[in-house]
Amino acid sequence: MTTSGLGKEALNTRNLEMDRASLEQRMETLRHEEPSNQVPLVIPVGVDLDAPDEYKVPEIDGAELTAQKLKAIMAEHGAVIIRGMFPQALMRPMTATIDGVLEACGSHRKVKANLVSEFFNPPKNLSSVMPNGIADLAALRLFSKIGGSALSVESSSVAEMLLQFFEEQGLKDLITQYLGEPPCLSVKKWVLRRSELPMEEAGWHQDGAFMGTEINTLNLWIPLTRCGGDTGAPGMDLIPQRLNKISSADGAAFDWAVSDEEASQGSEYAPSVAPVFEVGDAFFFDHFYLHRTQFRPDIDKQRYAIETWFFGSTTFPKSQVPIAW
């Protein structure tokens, strides 16, 4: 079966209760599992690194992508842009889906009364799987709302639709080969994003600073708006360099962040870049990659994106609340 895209039409054909039960089960499957060290780390922590021939964010065409190539590029550069990975016509309608989820999550009345729709049907165990239950979920919802984002799992139907889409696009096989075991996802690091205007300066960070480093990860960041560079819509500011340890948080606003001075003017790192992303591109990076939401004073356009972190199904950060796939 091929998907009709990621928009409202595709969403309308889904069975809300079945999606809810399916996502609930995925969370139950890993609820009591602890990560193990049976599968080797894809990126060993802290070993000496050879400098690449050039500091850059490599780009390859979607048609050229193989797990072997992904592994080689990620090992050398820490990230890669896959141009034209997805058909634009399938991706564009996802912005309306994100609007629907954000609107449903923004309505306190709907969330409180648990008014189920295709845009808001979280699994019934969502608060109970969080490390600190409902208090954690409430804090995460507030944090997401302030940042103009929502957890994908707020709509089980959107989450299940995305999983189906990823599988149809060959991502499950690709990521299994990359991680050396089947992937899982997570409640906290699977995010639907619509940037807020005016933009606030976001902190440089490596996600491993709060997830831990003895894990296997691959983040698939999907822009749904043309963004980055001089487009006026925020892409990502990137340090185009493979790192394999967590940088110091000295001078940064949070203990998981890196100060702007250190990231963009420090001698330790390659100069930052802000590539242009097109709808249909995919951007892969891992928990050591130093990045932030692109910031410059002339940003005046909204940008939509999907952020999906995949982890090894035995090498995941438990704190991020794993979801079996």
Ligand X SMILES: O=C(O)CCC(=O)C(=O)O
Position closest to ligand X via CB: 293
Told to check if 282 binds ligand X by CB under 6 A, we report no
- State the nearest-atom distance from the C-beta of 227 to ligand X, in Å: 9
| CA neighbor of 99 nearest in space, from 173, 176, 193, 186 | 193
State which H helix or E strand residue 310 sits in. strand 304-312
Residue 99: phi, psi to the nearest 5? -55, -45
d(CA 2, CA 262): 46
Q: Which of 20, 193, 194, 226 binds ligand X (CB under 6 A)?
A: 193
d(CA 77, CA 72): 9
State which H helix or E strand residue 291 sits in. strand 291-293
260: Cβ contacts below 8 Å, ≥ 6 apart: 201, 204
Task: Tell me the per-residue interface mask from 68 to 97 with ligand X, x by CB under 6 A, - otherwise.
Answer: ------------------------------
Question: Which residues within the stretch 287-316 sit at the binding site for ligand X (CB under 6 A)?
Answer: 291, 293, 305, 307
- State the nearest-atom distance from the C-beta of 50 to ligand X, in Å: 26
- State the nearest-atom distance from the C-beta of 80 to ligand X, in Å: 14
Residue 14 or 287: the one with the smaller Cβ distance to ligand X is: 287
Alpha helices in 5-123 (DSSP H): 8-12, 16-31, 67-77, 88-91, 94-106, 108-113
- State the nearest-atom distance from the C-beta of 235 to ligand X, in Å: 8
- State the nearest-atom distance from the C-beta of 141 to ligand X, in Å: 18
- State the nearest-atom distance from the C-beta of 285 to ligand X, in Å: 8
Q: b/e per residue, 108-140, with b = 16+ CB within 10 A?
A: eebbeeeebebbbbbbeebeebbeeeeebbeee
Task: Tell me the per-residue interface mask from 197 to 236 with ligand X, x by CB under 6 A, - otherwise.
Answer: ----------x-----------x-x--------------x
Residue 284: phi, psi to the nearest 5? -105, 135
Residue 14 or 292: the one with the smaller Cβ distance to ligand X is: 292
Residues that bind ligand X (CB under 6 A): 193, 207, 219, 221, 236, 291, 293, 305, 307
